[in-house]
Amino acid sequence: MSRNRHFFAMPLLLALLAAVLLTGGCGRNDKEQSSSYIIYYKNATGTSLYEVAYIPAAETFDEMVTELMEQLATPPTDATYVSALPSDVTYQGYERGIDALRIDFSGEYYDMNNTTEVLLRAAVVKTIIQIPGVTKVMITVDSEQLTDANGEAIAAMDAESFIDTKDGGINSYQTASLVLYFPNQDGTMLQKEVRSVDYSSNMVLERVIVEQLMAGSEYSDRKTVFSSGTEILDITTKNGICTLNFSSEFNTRPAENAPSAEAALYAIINSICETADEVNGVKFTVEGSGNVLFWDEIDLNSVFITNQNLIETEALQTETEDSEAAEASDSTGDAEASASDTAGTDTTGSDSGASADAVSSDLAGVDSLDQTVDDDAASVETDDSGESAAEDSSGNQVLAGAN
């Protein structure tokens, strides 16, 4: 009888063992799934990014960075996608900084065209930012912080630095310098903020501008324009007029420290008209209707144009001074160039020597990687639209004769 009990217990024991093994297998698959990364490549035509799932074998931080960068440079054999890293641009290593992981490339980085450069930057940042402990990625070239076409340093980036379409699609990117306005501390005047962004080519610039205004100012003493929950229902631009259709929350004042209705409205108008070259005026609708009194003060049934009178005088003076200084510098530079040409002086050798000195330093020992990023972007000067303007019953500037 005892032997029979053991006999009948054996199938039960085997069943329990099988269950344990199956449970262990599921646990391992879950772990592998949770450690899966996305490597970003380019499509075959080199115009947009392509996502490929990948499970790294690395166990340490150093191994992980090295492995992911190797994967970026050598995609699986497939005609569908290629590496975002051009063959003549060399990855030279990385350094862990206080505020960001610095990825260094060779000087050929600056030979890339704009599309190739932005896609590479997006691929590197989006891939490396997945590593635990990495919150931002800074790109350096020969150990010097990457700069844009205007010579301005490009700050450390994260995944949010690249604005994609809401459906999550991966697209090619465009770079734009946005002129944004936010109400000042007392909420009656506007202060300028210039922000460089990379955004999906499937997005219209006007939407990018509004979404950046919704994200708020980079300075704590500037007020928000939109109340919580406001949604963009539609944005269209036709014949120079940009029509913005918002959800009902748009017509609700922000809960705390709201700016004046005029400052809030013209923060949007000035930002769009000065950044989007093809836009001369802005029209607002709420849930599709233009018969709205914004914050119970301003009739929205008009087409509004830029109001320079709301921009703080100090900001306008600074812009004018910068413009005059730039013109003087250009004039001096032209005169010096002319004198140099007349004298027949050859500066090629000197420039080459300076370039060679700049690229000779080793990544590990370069202190310049810790240089500070200047968050204040260059002032952008814009021309008046030239449209004839009139004032509505509230004293706000609108396009004369606008329907």
**What are 8's two structure tokens?**
């009948």
**What are the C-alpha distances in Å from 286 to residues 2, 235, 239, 240, 368?**
83, 12, 21, 20, 50
Evaluate the CA torsion angle 171, 175, 181, 182 in order and state its sign: positive
> Among 269, 265, 114, 275, which residue's Cα sits nearest to residue 205?
275
**Which pLDDT value is given to residue 153?**
87
C-beta of residue 167 within 8 angstroms of C-beta of residue 205: no
The residue type at 309: N
pLDDT digits (tens, 9 = 90+) for 120-142: 999 999 999 999 999 999 999 99
Burial class (CB in 10 A: 0-12, 13-18, 19+), 25: exposed
**Which pLDDT value is given to residue 364?**
39
DSSP per-residue string spanning 347-400: -HHHHHHHHHHHT-S-GGG-GGGGPPP--SPPP---------EEE-TTS-EEET
Q: Cα separation of 116 and 370, whole Å?
A: 26
> Among 219, 340, 214, 343, which residue's Cα sits nearest to residue 267?
214
Q: Cα separation of 248 and 250, whole Å?
A: 5
Q: Which residues contact 137 (CB under 8 A, 6 or more apart)?
A: 100, 101, 102, 103, 124, 125, 128, 129, 156, 157, 158
Q: Cα separation of 123 and 48, whole Å?
A: 10
Q: Cα separation of 164 and 360, whole Å?
A: 37
Distance from the Cα of residue 183 to its chain's centroid = 22
**Which pLDDT value is given to residue 169?**
53
**pTM score, two decimals?**
0.52
**Which pLDDT value is given to residue 324?**
55
**Which pLDDT value is given to residue 356?**
37
Which ranges of the chain have pLDDT less than 70?
1-34, 165-171, 314-403
**Which pLDDT value is given to residue 266?**
97
Q: Cα separation of 185 and 287, whole Å?
A: 30
C-beta of residue 281 within 8 angstroms of C-beta of residue 242: yes
